[in-house]
Amino acid sequence: MQNQITTIFFDLFGVLLGIDQSVVVQYLSKLTNTPYFKTREITMGEPFMRLERGEIKFAEYVEAIRNTLPNGDRINLDSLKNIWMNSKIGEMPAVSLLNKLLINYNVWVISNTTESHIKSLKSQFNFLEKVNGIVTSERAGVHKPHTNIFKFALAEANCDAINGLFIDDSYSNTESAETLGIISHHYTEFDGLVSFLQKNLEI
């Protein structure tokens, strides 16, 4: 098994980067005088999914939630975009493994996000410039856990499923990848990830 793996695919948020989307929800909840969970339901609902799939632009997403949230006319596009791009984000321990993995393996990122968000993050986190490639749901036109995003990533990385390894903090995502024959790890904590990699890779 060890010599089969050529490419490692990492989820971004929840594995390599921690992100606190509650900052955005709290801002909008307070701005529109809407209960937090109702605000979250609207802001992270279908318009958000369409944004991540690349079906609509950020301005169209904002217009959609402005039309749905009570007092939505209070929402300013530029203000919301600034808060969105500067939500509390920080590196997680798994980033410390990348340099070593890149010596012998191709390392890719698969993320449910937009190209513009990745561009912004690259200016903050150097490791995103070091990985071999990044697949976003916007570019793939589909979200995890849909199997098509994994097929897209495999094609981009020129990798067969049996030669890939995938790590994600969502069980539904790892389960989906496994249906294609990709060895997968449901990330819950760093030590467990290290043990998994030591078992499956030459590190």
Do residues 111 and 26 share a domain?
A: no
Domain termination residue (choose one: 85, 116, 133) = 85
**103 with 146, same domain?**
yes
pLDDT digits (tens, 9 = 90+) for 124-162: 899 999 999 999 999 999 999 999 999 999 999 999 999
Q: Tens digit of pLDDT for each residue in 55-114?
A: 888 999 999 999 999 999 999 999 998 888 777 688 999 999 999 999 999 999 999 998
Question: Tokens 């200016």 map to which residue?
Answer: 123
- What's the burial of 173, exposed, middle or buried (CB within 10 Å: 0-12/13-18/19+)? buried
Give the domain CATH number at 67: 1.10.150
CB neighbourhood size of 112 (10 A): 22
Contact 161, 176 (CB under 8 A): no
Q: Is the dihedral of CA 178, 114, 153, 188 positive or negative?
A: negative
Q: Which domain holds residue 15?
A: 2-19+90-200
Cα R_g (the chain), whole angstroms: 18
- Asked whether residue 15 falls in the same domain as residue 107, the answer is yes
